[in-house]
Structure 1
Amino acid sequence: MTTNPAVVLVDAASYAAAVEEAAQAAAAYYATGESMLDDDAYDRLARGIAAYEEAHPQDTLDASPTGKVAGGAAVGDVPHTVPMLSLDNVFSAEQFATWTASVERRIGRPVAAWSVEPKLDGLAVAARYREGRLDQLITRGDGTAGEDVSHAIGTVLGLPERLSAPVTLEVRGEILMTDEQFEQANTVRTEHGGAPFANPRNGAAGTLRAKDRPYRVEMTFFAYAALALPDSGESAATLAELPHGEVLTYVAGLGVHTAADTAVAPRTVGTVEDVLTGVEDIASLRASLPFGIDGIVIKADLAADQRDAGSGTRAPRWAIAYKLPAVEKITRLLGVEWNVGRTGIIAPRAVLEPVEIDGSTVGYATLHNPADITRRDLRLGDQVMVYKAGDIIPRIEAPVAHLRTGDEKPIEFPETCPQCGSEIDTSEQRWRCTRGRNCRLVASISYAAGRDQLDIEGLGTTRVVQLVDAGLVADFADLFTLDRARLLALERMGETSTDNLLAAIDTARARPLSRVFCALGVRGTGRSMSRRIARHFATMDRIVAADVDALQQVDGIGKEKAAGVVTELVELAPLVAKLVAAGVNMTEPGATPPPEPGTAQEDDGEDGGPSADLPLGGMTVVVTGAMTGALEKLSRNQMNELIERAGGKSSSSVSKRTSLLVAGEKAGSKRTKAEDLGVRIAAPAEFAELVSAFLVPEV
């Protein structure tokens, strides 16, 4: 893992300009939470400045951010009892190995143990508790003194106003906005006439300092350290002698939020190799986290090692930040394209000035819907903050409003369907062509015939176009009424291809209900949700008859989504009726229908209910690596179906809630994490034997 190289400064003039740009960016960020540079651009600039100063020490300017906490921009008037320093950075395994060697040379022995934890993308604060009551909240500031932001007490989750014991101590950590809090904050902010925050980090920084707002914005705290205050009692004073991992455990026991209950819980390891494994594990989970991280923090765990390593003026010498590639950048919004999906949804897509993010070039980003564009006040020509994590489609967080020049132009919304010219239904946030699925008939049928739905082999897009153009199908239910003579009359349809297609369609007729329901393409549902719905209701007629309250009994369906599913199933009723008439299967194998109202509720197996008798009853199962033996030909979706038929719940990530990991060849970091957490691990052959009764030729 590496990041973009440092900015190259060729002479004193370019160096001076870089120092001024860095100073302005830091000042803007620490004053209002806004900056003209994204985090990666500032980091590259600061490294370029440091490199130039190392080569030309006589040219170093006083305004340089090098060696200063917060780049020298932050101010404060509340002294820290112990300096609240920043962290130095490394960007590769080689740089990390060099750093660890320097630490061990400094202390004169190998580091006994290392702590590995996420570097949370928020604002560092110190929370001072006196006799168990939260008394004062202070920003990092310049490291020696910070700003009093105690007015924010009561708005930060995870930072209780009273601890579970009447101790006096200082807890240090990061205040940030989760993805959900960020969306909520921008909704509230724009409703009150404010510009949306560019990203969660800026939102947290600006919100923490804001006073006298007519609205409240929620944030979250994660502790990463604790220390005694001058008037602390004996019990708190012993914090100085505890290993770092035990400090976090102690703080969590007092009721303060730490990362311990997240997918990236801190871990203590003994070797550099184990540290790097931990770095890879945390980095692999980055895209799935509900909050931002921009690296991994590695610390010497023992207090003795920390004391002997010491600290510099800017950073401790016993801790380092292993930075990850940037997942957000600032670039220009050049245009907006309007695309129509298979269900008739009209989706806007941003056309961007190409920018490299997380190792790939990004030229497009999602814009969700017209209401989202309006809420964010996006304009053509805007400088926008673009976010990308893992394989997730890049999205625009917000315009960087303070960089506007006045030449930006409003985004024009379509007046008719861009695909067929029909009228647009604008009654909901997501606009839709009034022709619905008929607007994109080929896409709708191709989706239904896809591998994870009906899996009709030989029915690709080209063949679907041919069937639609010939007037043989008006929806995917018509596939089941195709006859041999009419297919043979089509071009490029010989006897063999015709018979193969009809055989594949006949096989699809017996697919489980979960596949059939997924083929309907109900908005707000997909493969896993379709399986949950099918297993809960067991038959299609029960699904169609379900009201909003009944649908909310399905795991993962809230009131809003339930209402949408009910509405769409009414619309799809004629299609469902055609499927029934064509003899398509409408039941889910092994599923038990829910009890009638007034009877005992169906149990999920955790307390000995019906699914407890199944081999995976009440278990959460993760699959990783290449399957072999009886499982070799199963896709990941088919494996998930198998897990759920056997009574379990499929998941994509390993956590403390994981009951079983099925580890095939090249299992990688998920196996390592399962071993660390003590999760049961099964080889493909062992798992196949466990669920043998549920292994069927067609899943």
Structure 2
Amino acid sequence: MEGMTNSAVVLADHASYAAAVEEAAQAAAAYYATGESTLDDDSYDRLARGIAAYEREHPQEVLPASPTGKVAGGAAVGDVPHTVPMLSLDNVFSAEQFATWTASLERRIGRPVTAWSVEPKLDGLAVAARYHEGRLERLITRGDGTAGEDVSHASGTVVGLPARLAEPVTIEIRGEILMTTEQFEQANTVRTEHGGAPFANARNGAAGTLRAKDRAYTVEMTFFAYGALPLPESGALAAELTELPHSQVLARVAKLGVHTAADTEVAPRTAATVEEVQARIEEVAALRAALPFGIDGIVIKADLAADQRDAGSGSRAPRWAIAYKLPAVEKVTRLLGVEWNVGRTGIIAPRAVLEPVEIDGSTVSYATLHNPADITRRDLRVGDHVMVYKAGDIIPRIEAPVAHLRTGDEQPIAFPEACPQCGSEIDSSEQRWRCVRGRDCRIVASVSYAAGRDQLDIEGLGTTRVVQLVDAGLVTDFADLFMLEREQLLTLDRMGETSTDNLLAAIDTARSQPLSRVFCALGVRGTGRSMSRRIARYFAEMDRIRAAGEEELQRVDGIGKEKAAGVVAELAELAPLIDKLVAAGVNMTEPGATPPPPPGEEAEGETAAGTEGAPLAGMTVVVTGAMTGALEKLSRNQMNELVERAGGKSSSSVSKRTTLLVAGEKAGSKRTKAEELGVRIATPEEFAEMVGDFLPVDA
């Protein structure tokens, strides 16, 4: 959990304190009124912590407008009273702070807490849904905690919040409304089509959408329940909800047909000890980047009803629950300019140049912008304040401009009129622009990619050596590598007899690489390592791939109509290169694969040719952790190749469709999820025995 922070803005005197209070109040008011704010979450949190620290040192100077101790910073409004106050949560930012909080809680209740509930802190808006005899009657925002705003008009656009429950019970269900990543992208598409500015992020999108009335369009949101409480007319259900552990309350809510986080990668879990809680916190933090919705922390609650009653609540937050905040993955910064870079296939990709900003423990100075159409759709301008998102190892991206911060000095982004790399014309017929010279525009990048470890794996052929070969006129594409002669190489700088012989030996070894790697080396757009393996396993021979039409290509798992058309077009463009490879004696078959049956004769449910009778036929396999024994030296890509040679389908995530998990050392959350789903788990040694005939010779 490195990178955690609880840093605060340092306020030196009353004037700076008063200015901070005013800034926090304005930011909170803007957020709770329209979903827009002048501050990102992390900046607001740092400001609020600085205000609280100053007030602890100068209690006599506390201003009435201070956000300290108030739900929603005291800014939210509403006229629908809550049956029970709808409180916020206090925060911790490290394992040490969390341990201190748990010790304080146990002192307060006079006994150890033996059951904890650990669940994601969803990055949305808290709401209360009131049901009467199973029918949804009212949807209310949290507001200031005592009263909220009636947003029942929006309930029909919220997935996971049924109009009728599975039972005719009277109950209030509390939870979070948010936009998933997919819903956010769709919302911005619809919004910009109707002339609106795109939302800066998913949270603001949900806030604005929930309150909007009389729009000419609708967008979808998602509800996640995090609790429930009885209403005056709840009857026997009231006693049940009052005595059940929190985890069982969530299970009861799910049975009523309401959406919870139970079916997600970060499903709520119970833990018996603080150590188990901390382990789960680290698991959830590691999963954050891959989630289809935003979280900004983990909520830990005393699970037992008796512990919650004895702990009680303060004016702002319950004493039996805490939010363990994760490092911010969103920040507001300025767009200083746009660079246009040309990739190995000739794709011209825009990259945002940013005013450097600290996000999730690293300094971000650049972000992806996808394509020119995306820039136009988001109405980005140089000088804009932009919301930048970064999570895990994902390349930072710009969500949208923060339009309400515009000053009028922002300038349109200039699109290139010619290829920035070679000056040739640009093919702008598709969303992703491309130099008309294609791969010839970036020969060095194309050849270096083909020679890489996961493609042809030519040892000793780094970028510097490729540049040397290209500059000498010896290589115009990667097929020329297989035609290099010893005398030619010996004339180059820093190429003695030993290094020349080693390079030629590595190139000769690459001739026998399987078809899947050769196909991957071609760099066909829309395919990568996994798709190249599937195509090679299905067709078995390069000639059959080249002869396949769009319809036959769609029989390969993961290839749809659009991708099939792209592959056919790319292979036609690459025909001269493939012919050169064949002439150079490069292998064009996939070991262990057999050609597919003629169209119309494929067995129902079959997704790859040549897998019948193989040890992993029909199985979806996930590999995680460090391999040992016979598999120790295999990279993750080589493990995936092994899975598919043995007839299986490799996957990167555990789900209900997973057949087998190969769990090495430090398998982590994937092993936990496999155990929960009842997925078969094998050690590296057991797996090696299963696929023994398919292991590489040197394994």
Name the TM tier (shorter chain).
Answer: over 0.9
Q: Distance in 2 between matches of 1:548 and 1:293?
A: 40
Quick check: 1:343 aligned with 2:337? no
The residue type paired with residue 687 of structure 2 is F
- 1:511–1:205 CA distance, 2 compared to 1 (3 A): same
Q: 1:120-269 to 2 correspondence within 5 Å? A: 120-235=122-237, 237-269=239-271
SS in 2 for 1:220: strand
Q: 2:114 aligns with which of 88, 97, 112?
A: 112
- Residue equivalent to 2:639: 639
For 2:684 and 2:638, how far apart are their aligned partners in 1?
Answer: 14
How much does 1:84 deviate?
A: 1.3
Matches within 5 A, 1:21-420: 21-235=23-237, 237-420=239-422
- Aligned letter for 2:57? A
Equivalent pair of 1:552/1:558 in contact (CA under 8 Å)? yes
**CA–CA distance in structure 1, aligned partners of residues 559 and 63 of structure 2:** 58
Letter in 1 for 2:139: L
- The one-letter amino acid of 1:154's match is G
Describe the SS at the equivalent of 2:423: coil
Quick check: 167-176 or 669-678, which moved more? 669-678
Q: Structure 1, residues 110-144: CA drift from partner, whole Å, max 9, x if none?
A: 11200111111111111222222222211111111
Amino acid across the alignment from 1:360: S
Q: Deviations over 1:269-315 (max 9, x none)?
A: 10000000000000000111111110001111111211111111111
Contact persistence 2:419–2:426 (CA under 8 A): yes
Which residue number in structure 2 is paired with residue 626 of structure 1? Answer: 626
Change (3 A) 1:694 1:415: same
Structure-2 change in CA distance of 1:409 and 1:415 (3 Å):
same
Aligned 8 A contact 2:595 2:610 in 1: no
Instruction: Select between 618-627 and 628-637 the one with higher mean Cα deviation.
Output: 618-627
Partner Cα separation in structure 2 for residue 428 and residue 25 of structure 1: 41
Quickly say closer, same or farther: Cα 1:361–1:94, change in 2 above 3 A.
Answer: same
The counterpart of 2:557, out of the listed 555, 558, 567, is: 555
Asked whether the equivalents of residues 602 and 610 of structure 1 are also in contact (C-alpha less than 8 Å), the reply is no
TM alignment of 1:397-476, pairs within 5 A:
397-476=399-478
Partner AA of 2:192 in structure 1:
T
Distance 1:238 1:45, change over 3 A: same
Q: Displacement of 1:206 after TM fit?
A: 0.6
The 8 Å contact of residues 38 and 330 in structure 1, kept in 2 or not, is answered as yes
Q: Which moved more, 1:582-591 or 1:348-357?
A: 582-591
| CA RMSD in angstroms, aligned pairs only | 2.1
Q: CA deviation at 1:547?
A: 3.6
State the distance in 2 between where 1:106 and 1:656 align: 42
Q: Please give the alpha-carbon distance, in whole angstroms, between the structure 2 residues aligned to 1:605 and 1:340.
A: 35
For residue 642 of structure 1, what is the amino acid of its counterpart? L
Instruction: Give the drift of 1:163.
Output: 2.3
Deviating more after overlay: 673-682 vs 268-277: 673-682
Moved more, 219-228 or 354-363: 219-228
Q: Which amino acid aligns with 2:426?
A: I
| Gap change, CA 1:307 and 1:393, over 3 Å in 2 | same
Measure the CA separation in 2 of the matches of 1:698 and 1:470.
Answer: 36
Q: Give deviations 1:483-539, integer Å, cap 9, x for gaps.
A: 334334444434333332222222212211211111111122211222222223333
* Residues 44-79 of structure 1: CA deviation (Å, up to 9, x unaligned): 111111111111111111111111111111111112
Instruction: State the one-letter code of the partner of 1:694.
Output: F
Partner of 2:648: 648
**8 Å Cα contact 2:128-2:140 kept in structure 1:** yes
**Residue identity opposite 2:540 in structure 1:** A
Unpaired segments ≥5 residues, structure 2: none
Does 506-515 or 272-281 show the bigger shift?
506-515
Q: Secondary structure at the match of 1:361?
A: strand
1:584 equivalent in structure 2: 586
Query: Distance between the aligned counterparts of 2:356 and 2:111, measured in 1?
Result: 48
Q: What is the DSSP-based 3-state SS (H/G/I as helix, E as strand, rest coil) of the residue aligned with 2:174?
A: strand
Aligned length in residues: 697
Q: What letter is aligned with 1:646?
A: A
Shift of 1:161: 2.0
The corresponding residue for 1:615 is 615
Q: Is the 8 A contact 2:538 2:610 kept in 1?
A: no
2:126–2:175 Cα contact (<8 Å) kept: yes
Q: Quote the Cα distance in structure 1 between the aligned partners of 2:288 and 2:252.
A: 26
8 Å contact 1:384–1:397 — kept in the other structure? yes
Moved more, 401-410 or 229-238: 229-238
Q: Please state how far the C-alpha of 1:233 moved relative to its aligned partner.
A: 3.9
Which segments of 5 or more consecutive residues in structure 1 lack a partner in the other structure?
A: none
Distance (whole Å) between structure 1 residues aligned to residue 97 and residue 294 of structure 2: 24
For 1:532 and 1:108, locate their aligned partners in 2 and report how far apart those are by CA, in whole Å: 60
Distance 2:527 2:174 in 1: 41
Q: For residues 188-223 of structure 1, give each alpha carbon's deviation from its aligned partner in whole angstroms, at most 9, with x where no partner exists.
A: 111111111111111111111111111111111111
Deviation at 1:81, TM superposition (A): 1.4
Alpha-carbon distance in 1 for matches of 2:572, 2:632? 40
Deviates more, 1:560-569 or 1:19-28: 560-569
CA displacement at 1:657 relative to structure 2: 4.9
TM-score by length of structure 2 reads: 0.95
Structure 1 residues 51, 204: CA separation in 2 closer, same or farther (over 3 Å shift)? same
1:557-596 C-alpha deviation (Å, 9 max, x unpaired):
3443333323222222222232233332222223344433
Amino acid at match of 1:259: A
Q: Residues 248 and 563 of structure 1: is their aligned pair in 2 closer, same or farther, counting only changes over 3 Å?
A: farther
Identity across matched positions, percent: 84
- Structure 1 counterpart of 2:34, which letter? T
**In the alignment, is the contact (CA less than 8 A) between 1:129 and 1:167 conserved in 2?**
yes
| CA 1:572–1:236: 2 relative to 1, 3 Å | farther
- Asked if the contact 1:518/1:526 (under 8 Å) is kept, the reply is yes
Shift in CA distance, 603/254, structure 1 to aligned 2, threshold 3 Å: same
Q: Distance in 2 between matches of 1:322 and 1:554?
A: 44
Q: CA deviation at 1:21?
A: 0.5
Q: Aligned in 2, Cα 1:310/1:678: closer, same or farther, shift over 3 Å?
A: farther
Aligned residue in 1 for 2:692: 692
| Cα displacement (A) at 1:611 | 4.7
Q: Is 673-682 or 97-106 further displaced after alignment?
A: 673-682
Structure-1 separation of matches of 2:442 and 2:184: 34
Q: TM (normalized to structure 1)?
A: 0.95
1:674 CA drift (Å): 4.8
Q: 1:536 to 1:73 in 2, by over 3 A?
A: farther
Q: Which secondary structure state, in structure 2, belongs to the residue aligned with residue 362 of structure 1?
A: strand
SS of residue in 2 equivalent to 1:153: helix
Q: Using the TM superposition, name which of 337-346 and 647-656 deviates more.
A: 647-656
